[in-house]
Amino acid sequence: MATLSPMLRVEYPSLPKLAVLSDQEKINYKEKIKRLLKEKNAVLIAHYYTDPDVQALAEETGGYVGDSLEMARFGRDHDASTLIISGVRFMGETAKILTPNKKVLMPSLEATCSLDVGCPIELFSQFCDEHPDRTVVVYANTSAAVKARADWVVTSSIALEIVDHLDSEGKKLIWGPDRHLGNYIKDKTQADILMWQGDCIVHDEFKAQALREMKALNPGAAVLVHPESPKNVIELADIVGSTSQLISAAKSLTNKTLIVATDKGIFYKMQQACTEKELLAAPTAGNGATCRSCAQCPWMAMNSLKAIFNALNNAKGHNIDVDPSVAKGAMISLDRMLSFAAEHQLKTKGNA
Ligand code: SF4
């Protein structure tokens, strides 16, 4: 009988009380950030879930908006000597792992992720040690140390194919940390998986009954769901996919209205991809709702214009470093995924 990992009690912060900037203050911060980006030979790289103002500024200044792996790859291939990674801590770490020779700054080192916090290296490592016969597969939303402990790192875009491949080789697996994504993959592949019990504070809150009611009110709408959501929400989806896959689907679907179950920050790029469509946020309210996030990641929200300015203006307390031996171990697990993707001509885009 398989043992399950303990369900860790993760203390979630309330949404940070960010100063609401006036239009003029936003303009001032943007101008100062643009000047500093040039002065410091830096590039702004933002995740899909950050504030639309931040995503727009990244695009306007020749930076990038994407998922964690693409953010890290863009930074690695860009000429800038400093990367400012607007996202959460594991994204800064991944950028540093791929580009150890560059300075990697983050608007806030406090910006983390419930999947990362809920999968501390000591406990996860102990869990893996208890099952030495199992191959360890972890999601990109983990610390560098957890990545280094794993055999494989996967993104949500390629997780199914890799688990299917490992299963076909007769391997028994440990999956961590997201239990919803893990269970979705387990259902699809029938692989023998021992599950770590983490979840994403944002996706865990989507509510199936309220979504059914929203669908009934919008009969022509398609439902797009990120697989970090609960199973009964995924079951209502027309499309299940990673952030990049959901944006592509939004573009190609013929439905005029789309109900989207992922962080609302994605609406900025999704609306760019389909200007004529109406996007509705899937409900986090309804029976049992606590609305800890209301479809907005509290850690992503820490990437304010002011915080970006501070990081660029004074590098103290914003610098990301990864122990070289940990980075080396994490790179091995990341490289397995990248080689598999290249060999099978698959895309790796897509984390939270
Ligand atoms: S949205 Fe969820 S998975 Fe993404 S950073 Fe926030 S807590 Fe982590």
Burial class of residue 77 (count of CB atoms within 10 Å of its CB; 0-12, 13-18, 19+)? exposed
Nearest atom within ligand 1 for CA of residue 262: 1
Predicted TM-score (pTM) above 0.95: no
CA of 172 to the centre of ligand 1 (A): 27
- CA–centroid distance, residue 203 to ligand 1 (Å): 8
Q: Which fold has domain 203-281?
A: Rossmann fold (3.40.50)
Q: Which residues line ligand 1 (CB under 6 A)?
A: 49, 88, 113-115, 141, 200-202, 263, 297, 299-300, 352
3-state secondary structure the chain: CCCCCCCCCCCCCCCCCCCCCCHHHHHHHHHHHHHHHHHCCEEEEEECCCCHHHHHHHHHCCCEEECHHHHHHHHHHCCCCEEEEECCHHHHHHHHHHCCCCEEECCCCCCCCHHHHCCCHHHHHHHHHCCCCCEEEEECCCCHHHHHHCCEEECCCCHHHHHHHHHHCCCCEEEECEHHHHHHHHHHHCCCEEECCECCCCHHHCCHHHHHHHHHHCCCCEEEECCCCCHHHHCCCCEECCHHHHHHHHHHCCCCEEEEECCHHHHHHHHHHCCCCEEEECCCCCCCCCCCCCCCCCCHHHCCHHHHHHHHHCCCCCECCCCHHHHHHHHHHHHHHHHHHHHHCCCCCCCC
Q: Report how far ligand 1's centroid is from the alpha carbon of 134 (Å).
A: 27
- What is 23-111+300-321's CATH superfamily? NadA-like (3.40.50.10800)
Nearest residue (by CA) to ligand 1, atom 5, is 113
Q: From CA 51, how far away is CA 308, in angstroms rounded?
A: 12
CATH 3.40.50.10800 is right for the domain spanning 115-199+326-344? yes
Same fold, 23-111+300-321 and 203-281: yes
Domain boundary assignment for the chain: 23-111+300-321, 115-199+326-344, 203-281
Q: How many CB atoms lie within 10 A of CB 21?
A: 15
To the nearest whole percent, how much of the chain has pLDDT over 70? 91
> What is the CA(312)–ligand 1 centre distance, in A?
24
Q: What is the amino acid identity at position 291?
A: C
pLDDT score of 1: 38
How much distance in Å is there from the Cα of 201 to the middle of ligand 1?
A: 7
The pLDDT tens digits along the chain (352 residues) read 344 455 555 666 565 567 789 999 999 999 999 999 999 999 999 999 999 999 999 999 999 999 999 999 999 999 999 999 999 999 999 999 999 999 999 999 999 999 999 999 999 999 999 999 999 999 999 999 999 999 999 998 899 999 999 999 999 999 999 999 999 999 999 999 999 999 999 999 999 999 999 999 999 999 999 999 999 999 999 999 999 999 999 999 999 999 999 999 999 999 999 999 999 999 987 654 555 557 889 999 999 999 999 999 986 799 999 999 999 999 999 999 999 998 987 766 655 5
